[in-house]
Amino acid sequence: MKGIDLASKVAIVKFDKNMEEKSLEQALRLIDGISDLNTSKKAVVVKVGVFSHKADNHTSVSFVDAIINSFSKAPKVFIAESDNYQGTGLERLQIWKELFSERVTPFNLSNLEDVQDVTLAGQKIKLSTLLFKPNIFVNTHIMRTFKRGSILKNLFGCIPTQKKAKFHKNQIFCSLLADIYEAIGGVDLSIMDGTYLWRGAGDLRVPMNILLAGRDAVAVETVGAILAGLKPERMPVTQEFVKRGLGVGDIENIEIVGTPLESLHEESKLAAKALIEKWKKRGGAPSIWAPTIDNLIKEGFFQLPHKRTRDEVVKAFESKGISTKGYRGVISTTLTRREKTGKLKAVKESNGWVYWTE
């Protein structure tokens, strides 16, 4: 995938409520259309990003519908996701069940009946053949203040295993995502749903009503990160892709079409500030531990047959965009309190304390 043009084009479109399809049509026109992708000869795989079917932090039904309609000539459109501890890919894909038809079908990337062996971050892993060319790969996720990103981070869901925590270490994680990108032949189209700006990987949000679209996944990630108040040059995943020549991560070399980035500067700044205020009202950093553990309990993170170690709980916090540096003791104390109140069961095993619910 080397040799991407220096100037990558990213469309930014502001939209009104219920205008999702028209805004996507406009965005695709601004990036010179997708006539080469919308063909009767190729199936389309839409990789949605959905951590939990009980949460709203994923691309809306309206935008996924608009993506499907954009590929009117495709013989098949697969809405794809893999298993995680929240449930199977098919269970979580039920969010978009109203869109399913004979042509549009859900697909579980953890289905290992038809796979291809690849090496990712030095490990042999099987990926569904659905992800590979000649199929068209569309990547869609939300706009969020998450240093691990959105569009590029969404590739993590291509991994079929339910237990993904072992890949979360920064160096492995960055290499893994870039390796996935290279293995499947890249991303053909990236759509970032900025209906809301979300805080990290959590559930706090403020309205933005912005859509981003582009052929260069790295460029779309970069523009989305800037609108979310992040600095792409400090985002390890983005920089790993840039280092490999897989896309453009310098805003000076990205051609913005549609709504000028500068005109959204104040709005995005206010949105980021509003998120911080919401976070503080919820209790901020010192008080976030108990609500997050309670949410993990509600989401089924501790549900048997899983027995979670303290390290796994810490990784679950990190996956939600919550820094745990200096707070491991607080997390351990909070887990102990939840055990004493009966919300969790606990026992000390050879690998330390483990926690679960029945």
- 1: pLDDT confidence band, cut at 50, 70 and 90? very low
Distance of CA 103 to the CA centre of its chain: 25
Span 123-150, pLDDT tens digits: 999 999 999 999 999 999 999 999 899 9
Query: Could you tell me what percent of the chain has a pLDDT over 90?
Result: 72
Residue 132 corresponds to which tokens in the numbers above? 């590979």
| Low-confidence winner among 73-77, 254-258, 275-279, 344-348 (lowest mean pLDDT) | 275-279
Whether pLDDT at 163 is above 80: no
Average pLDDT of 231-243?
Answer: 96
- pLDDT per residue over 180-193, tens digit each? 999 999 999 999 99
Identify the weakest region by mean pLDDT among 36-40, 54-58, 67-71, 168-172.
168-172
In the predicted structure, residue 254 carries a pLDDT above the cut 90 = yes
Mean pLDDT of all residues in the chain?
A: 91
Q: Is the dihedral of CA 329, 201, 316, 187 positive or negative?
A: negative
CA dihedral 94, 98, 100, 106 (to 10 degrees): -10
Going by pLDDT thresholds of 50, 70 and 90, the confidence category of residue 173 is very high
SS3 196: strand
pTM of the model: 0.81
Q: Is the pLDDT of residue 343 over 50?
A: yes
pLDDT for 91 equals 94
What tokens does 101 get? 């038809």
Three-state DSSP class for residue 9: strand
Higher pLDDT, 207 or 166: 207
Higher confidence at residue 210 or residue 279? 210
**Residue 161 reports pLDDT greater than 60:** yes
**Residue 21 binned pLDDT confidence (cut-offs 50, 70, 90):** very high
Which structural domains are found in the chain, ordered by start? 8-271 (3.40.50.11440), 285-356 (1.10.10.10)
- Per-residue model confidence (pLDDT) at position 4: 46
Confidence of residue 164 (pLDDT cuts 50, 70, 90): confident
Q: What is the mean pLDDT of residues 12-37?
A: 94
Q: Which two tokens stand for residue 325?
A: 């540096």
Query: In 10 A of CB 1, how many CB atoms?
Result: 16
Torsion angles phi and psi, residue 117, rounded to 5: -80, 130
